[in-house]
């Protein structure tokens, strides 16, 4: 379950999207909670939904429940880089993009 990166993260890492993880800060792009930013608390891979801190709804009996948001309707604003695996993924994906972009075609007209 991947989500797009914000414009700042795209420029700094050179990649367009990454899998969402708990602890990432995301911005909701669609729906009733549009433009809300919060941390991902839980990910439901079976239903393809993300639960964000502060996005709750009150039920008829007065209890509050978290509202599930589809992963395609959020963008990652801040990455959780506590995990070494994720750092390796960023280095691997970013380096591939930068190498392809930095190669200049050599034209020799002799």
Summarize pLDDT for 23-68 with one digit per residue, the tens: 999 999 999 999 999 999 999 999 999 999 999 999 999 999 999 9
Query: Which residue do the tokens 């209890």 mark?
Result: 63
Would you report the helix, strand and coil content of the chain in percent, each value rounded to 5? 25, 35, 35
CATH number of the domain that residue 43 is part of:
2.30.30.30
Torsion of CA 13, 17, 21, 25, to 10 degrees: 70
Pairing relationship of beta strands 2-5 and 74-78 according to DSSP bridges: parallel
Residue 44 resides in a domain: yes
The C-alpha angle 72, 78, 81, rounded to 5 degrees, equals 110
Query: 58 is in which domain, residue-wise?
Result: 2-82
47 occurs within a structural domain: yes
110 lies in some domain: no
Provide the whole-model pTM: 0.79
Domain count for the chain, please give it.
1
């Amino acid at each position: 379950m991947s989500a797009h990166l914000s414009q700042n993260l795209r420029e700094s890492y050179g990649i367009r999207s990454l899998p969402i993880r708990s602890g990432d800060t995301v911005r909701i792009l669609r729906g009733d909670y549009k433009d809300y930013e919060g941390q991902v608390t839980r990910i439901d891979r079976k239903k393809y939904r993300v639960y964000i801190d502060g996005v709750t709804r009150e039920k008829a009996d007065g209890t509050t429940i978290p509202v599930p948001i589809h992963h395609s309707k959020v963008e990652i604003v801040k990455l959780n880089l506590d995990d070494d695996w994720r750092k390796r993924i960023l280095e691997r994906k970013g380096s591939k993009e930068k190498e392809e972009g930095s190669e200049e075609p050599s034209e020799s007209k002799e």
